[in-house]
Amino acid sequence: MTVQKERFGIFFCPTVRATEEIATRLAPLLFAQDVILLQGNLGVGKTTFAQALIRACAVSSCTPKSPTFPCVLEYKVAQGRLLHCDFYRLRHADEVFSFNLEDVLERDILLVEWAERAPPDFFPQDHLVIQFGMRPAGRFLHISGSPAWKARIESLALPES
Ligand SMILES: Nc1ncnc2c1ncn2[C@@H]1O[C@H](COP(=O)(O)OP(=O)(O)O)[C@@H](O)[C@H]1O
Ligand SMILES: [Mg+2]
């Protein structure tokens, strides 16, 4: 059965701090097995967002790196384990299977940049998508996902989209 994706709203983030603030607010709402896909071109703010989220839920203070190489970095977080992946450098979609993420999907939180480079249907249909857009005034974070995410995203107090 196909799960329909819903649009939950848009955040306008005029500064890095504003983007980090959304990530920090999302962090305590996450559970094990959550999948969050960060989409948008190079430099839109995906890693900035991911690092703030990781800092907010890591069990000990840490300075998250960008996982461009290697493609997967692992963190201990309040909910268990979080894997931060960046598939920008995948040479072909099937390379994603070399990371053995199937087990991770059943256990950990997965935060993925450039998920669109993985094979279609690699991720469970129940996931959150944050699509970043860049404008001179700042970044726009378009939030969408499976209906299961609706209540949690509403509690982020989204403005009208
Ligand atoms: N509102 C904003 N939100 C996020 N990043 C911003 C913002 N304004 C400027 N930036 C800058 O844009 C860059 C985003 O880089 P990064 O997070 O690595 O992007 P990506 O992972 O999408 O390639 C950083 O240098 C960051 O300081
Ligand atoms: Mg990045």
User: With contact defined as beta carbons under 8 Å apart, do 57 and 26 qualify?
Assistant: no
What average pLDDT does the segment 42-54 reach?
A: 97
The residue to mutate among 12, 15, 16, having the most atoms of ligand 1 within 8 angstroms of its beta carbon, is 16
Expressed in angstroms and rounded, the spacing between residue 144 Cα and the centre of ligand 2 is 20
Boundaries of every domain in the chain: 6-154
Instruction: Say what the pTM is.
Output: 0.94
Mean model confidence pLDDT for the chain: 92
The answer to whether domain 6-154 has CATH 3.40.50.300 is yes
**Residues lining ligand 1, Cβ inside 6 A:** 13, 15-16, 18-19, 40, 42-48, 113, 138-139
Asked whether residue 56 carries a pLDDT value surpassing 90, the answer given is: yes
> Among candidates 87, 78, 83, 45, which has minimal Cα distance to 64?
83
